[in-house]
Structure 1
Amino acid sequence: MKKIILAMAMILCSASFSTAATTEVGMRRILIRLTQTSTEAEKIAVKNRVDSIVKRLQNGEDFRELAKKESDDQETAKNGGNWGYITPKPGSEDHPIFKLKPGERSDYFVDPLGVWFYERYTDRPTTVYSDMPKSEPTIVMSDHEFKICASAYRDNLEIYYEAKEARESYEIAALDNKPRTTKSQLLEKLAKLSENNATLSTCKKSLIDINSILEYCPQAQYSSNWCDAYLGRQEVIDAKAEKEAYEAKAKKAKEEEDEVFADFQQCAGTARDVEGQEEQYEYNLRLYNTGFSSISYSQMIAEQQNLNKGIKKLNSKCGGKGWRLPIDRVRGLCSHPAYTSEWCSQF
């Protein structure tokens, strides 16, 4: 057993890793499911949902909130439609979703699964690794494929020894005619070993995204010599430090954005109240001037003074500020009935 482990470690450590720089695209998506077997009534319902989503996106509704409420893709819907970072595979670079710029949304697309909406929210550079010769065509494995490979490497020794023990037990049983491992049990173990070896062979034919290494290799369920070999590389160590710094910076920026948004929300609410107060004052003033109102002169003066105080407070606290906020958050708030106002509409 020690010889086998040592041999595997030597193979892993002596692997000739090649690297390549590329760009990953951060995507969110919404799926409205529609299949060829959908009934006419279901098709009409899908059309109505699609038209509604198009309109709501045009009105500035937050893509993430819309995905949570409307998307039929349950895996991404719970995360606001976040599909994660993807790398265009060879031949797919001309797809319209990769033509989007960060912050842009696509028109909808139809495929056998249904109707899709996409939002490209950011890009990031990445590095990919491969054990394959540079001359051979390769693609970057997805997160799902990476987890399969990591699990296969993790389980490889265990599967090998299970098959080895099953073979020995079967051979002994054949000699002394005692029931131990049956032929079907042996074949099952050997098939499992063969399947795992096939998976490992496939894993060597794909580029590995450094972000997949950082995301999954530290997790216990994917721990293996294969992962350790990558985690120990200086490029990965540097990328981890860079990623942590980026995440800390992004977290701080989000907290600052949330603070600014909270102030903006308060100002939007104040503006809505002041404009409502102004409408009421103008209405009462018109009634007062007709002579048919029960409102007294002193009441009108008091209303005017309260209105002036509200306008002064709004201007002093909210006027002249440069609100650096994502347009979708501003539009989403200002389109809400509780915050709709002329003041809000200027943003």
Structure 2
Amino acid sequence: MHSPPRLYGRGAELAVLDTLLTRLRQGDGGALVLTAPPGTGLTALLDRTAAAHRERHTGPVLWATAAPAEQWLPHSGLHALLCSAPCPLPLDPDRVLRDGLPPAALLALLRRLGAERPLLVCVDDAHAWDPASRAALAFVARRLGPRSRVAAVIGAGDGAGFAGLPALRLGPLGDEAASALLDRFTEAAGTDRADPVARGELLREAAGNPRLLAGLTARLTPAQLAGRTPLPHPLPGGDDVLAAHAARLGHLPAATRTLLLIAAAAHAHEPEGTGADLDLVRRAALAAAVPPAALDLALLTPGGTAGALQRAGDRVHFSHPLLRRALLHRAPPHHRRAVHDLLAGLLTDGGAARSRARAVW
């Protein structure tokens, strides 16, 4: 059995989970939904919780990680969860995959499994479960309480059907925790401590995201980490994290995504500032043929950009710095060039760049 890696900067979250496990050991169940942006360490926190339950010899663990490819296969989530049982079950998981399992029957089964020794249920990426399994899990989680001897810790995205349950959201790592984690990564790469310039660049680009920090550090050579050779710009690595952040906006209309790319490029000129100039973003969006109605909806309506873009006076900024970086990273190169060309033209009050940008969209 593997030992989960050390977690940095998650003392408060671990304390909440430890309270849940303590209650479970005393015979009282419950549920907790964990949400987090991609790469923030939710899986590691689930792993640590399951390990703590096992180490205390409290009882069995059921664990399932969603497989997005099975999202439209009815009951596949419950099938995976039941297949993880460390002991024979009173029903065949394959039958569940074929015929389904009513939510009340799932609740009765879990209570039966937890009757002798408290049972911990951990589900990672539950938002990617099939709808039937997700609904059954939510039904069960809402009915776990005193004397149930079953606890569920569910990692899920927002809007996954677990509203009303106790929830804990993981934010980015603080500066001290991110710095300590970077030390661990650089030591593993054969460098005692990163050069101050490299260190500052890595911490700024990772924005407190552990997986992104790991990906960026892994792509640098020991000489680059030590400051003996220059850093590449932009820093390579972390493509999986950035793709996951960009995918959160993939459902938005094309005009809105164009606006977001423009705001990201405008913001990049002053990444440490208070955001992008609203008037510049508006003029650039109109020049890129974003319809005025779509522009007003995105800039004036809180949900117009799915929460990605926020307005503060005459500035707009991103709700999470990695959304901005992800948009720039994932955009087709000719779109990025067109946006930068367009912004440069507007800043110099030129017209040629606007004409070229219109031709791209």
TM range (shorter): under 0.3
Q: TM-score by structure 2 length? A: 0.24
Structure of greater relative contact order (alpha carbons < 8 Å, 6+ residues apart):
1
Q: Higher helix share goes to which structure?
A: 1
- Higher Rg of the two aligned structures: 1
